[in-house]
Copies of this chain bind each other. A is one copy, B any other.
Amino acid sequence: MLGNFTYVNATKLYFGENSLTFLKGELEKYGKNIQLVYGGGSIKKNGIYDKVLEILHEGGKNVFEDPGVMPNPTVEKLYEGCKIAKDNQVDLILAVGGGSVCDYAKAVSVGAWCEEDPWDKYYLRMEDVDNQIIPVGCILTMVGTGSEMNGGSVITNHESKLKIGHVFGENVFPKFSILNPTYTYTLPQYQMVAGFFDIMSHILEQYFSGEDDNTSDYIMEGLLKSLIHSSRIAVKNPKDYEARSNIMWIATWALNTLVAKGKRTDWMVHMIGQSIGAYTDATHGMTLSAVSMAYYRHICPYGMAKFARYGINVWNVNPEGKTEEEIAAEGLRCMESYMKEIGLVMNIKDLGVTEEMLDSIAKGTFIMKGGYKVLTKDEVVEILKESM
């Protein structure tokens, strides 16, 4: 473990097929006014909306609807949500959906009582929260982002072509999250596998950084092996409870701050992917999968020992008689073939990216400095070209 750090994560998780029954008890802790946040309405089709509304009404709550949260929540939507929260003196924001809905709920949670424009203060200037925070609770219907147990919140500004994620502190973490693996069954296959790779990318971006001997890397190897195993099962049978429940749990622990503690992290795949997302509105997980192989092959020479370890410990590459380079390359080939197998988008052309966009996407890519190689803008362009 490196350096000095603080770890605290007080989000209460209710996990399992019966986890929604705990909503009643949680609601009792908050006031009457509930902002019910959700996306495009799939929760109305699969019945979750009705179940949640019934519990809210039984609890005597006033429900203020805030539907239509888009896959990449916009700054305009944020302003709308803040107005609902403020106008109705909301006591709890209840997010029902996936990572975008949870991210948006947190943005409203800090934005509603912000005296300035919350986009400027919390996303452009990344300032700490110094105003009233409205508590957030989540009912998860799609896994991937880990937003149900962290302070992350990504908002997109189409006008300025910026997609920015603020990682808020513990006071903004959801107070509780309800994780029912069966709620993820109805998600279309494309969104499901995109979510799987989002999880994988979260782990890889924390794994591929640092030269120290760190327990977190061992934990992440375990998470990766379990994810690869369970996702292969889920792709064939999306209603395999064991597989879906493991994946839901891995998603949470991959990005609830634990595995990043006391180690360096990378996040360049997310930076490139988010910039692609701002230009194409493509599904987040697919923006990551489409650039990952080019990115990892590009940085592999700078972190060779770790890539070889990855090949052996995660992909069961037999190291006998092979050089470090060969082991690393074989590991990456295994990863590529797994990605194709589960049906991920493997190039950015399929996401609607054109040659003309590449320079702008690179320009919009925020350069992080924790990876094995600090990229230049030219290298980002190169990786994007290789990903076409």
A18: chain B residues at CB < 8 Å are: 4
| Residue A280 is within 8 A (CB to CB) of chain B in the complex | no
Contact-residue size bin, chain A (C-beta under 8 Å from the other chain): 35 or more
A14: chain B residues at CB < 8 Å are: 4, 6
- For A246, the closest partner residue in chain B by CB is B215
- Beyond A1-B249, A215-B246, A250-B215, whether A15 also contacts B222 by CB under 8 A is no
A6: chain B residues at CB < 8 Å are: 12-15, 22
Instruction: Contact check, A223 vs B212: say whether CB atoms are below 8 A apart.
Output: no
Instruction: Contact check, B8 vs A15: say whether CB atoms are below 8 A apart.
Output: no
Instruction: Contact check, A13 vs B3: say whether CB atoms are below 8 A apart.
Output: no
| Residue A124 is within 8 A (CB to CB) of chain B in the complex | no
- For A225, the closest partner residue in chain B by CB is B218
A19: chain B residues at CB < 8 Å are: 4
A215: chain B residues at CB < 8 Å are: 222-223, 226, 230, 246, 249-250, 253
| Mask: chain A, 289-323; 1 = CB below 8 Å from B; 0 = not | 00000000000000000000000000000000000
A242: chain B residues at CB < 8 Å are: 1, 212-213
A3: chain B residues at CB < 8 Å are: 16
**CA–CA, A345 and B150, complex, Å:** 43
A4: chain B residues at CB < 8 Å are: 14-19
A60 to chain B, nearest CB (A): 24
Instruction: Contact check, B5 vs A15: say whether CB atoms are below 8 A apart.
Output: yes
A6 to chain B, nearest CB (A): 6
A348 to chain B, nearest CB (A): 31
A246: chain B residues at CB < 8 Å are: 1, 213-215
| Residue A229 is within 8 A (CB to CB) of chain B in the complex | yes
Instruction: Contact check, B9 vs A9: say whether CB atoms are below 8 A apart.
Output: yes
**CA–CA, A213 and B245, complex, Å:** 10
A5: chain B residues at CB < 8 Å are: 15-16
- Beyond A10-B8, A16-B5, A262-B15, whether A229 also contacts B213 by CB under 8 A is yes
Which 9 A-B pairs rank lowest in CB-CB distance, beginning with the nearest?
Answer: A4-B16, A222-B222, A218-B222, A10-B10, A218-B226, A8-B12, A1-B245, A7-B13, A215-B226
Binding site for B on A (CB under 8 A): 1, 3-19, 22, 181, 212-215, 217-223, 225-226, 229-230, 242-243, 245-246, 248-250, 253, 258, 261-262
Inter-chain pairs besides A212-B242, A215-B250, 9 sampled, C-beta below 8 Å: A4-B14, A4-B16, A5-B16, A8-B12, A9-B10, A213-B242, A218-B223, A219-B226, A249-B261
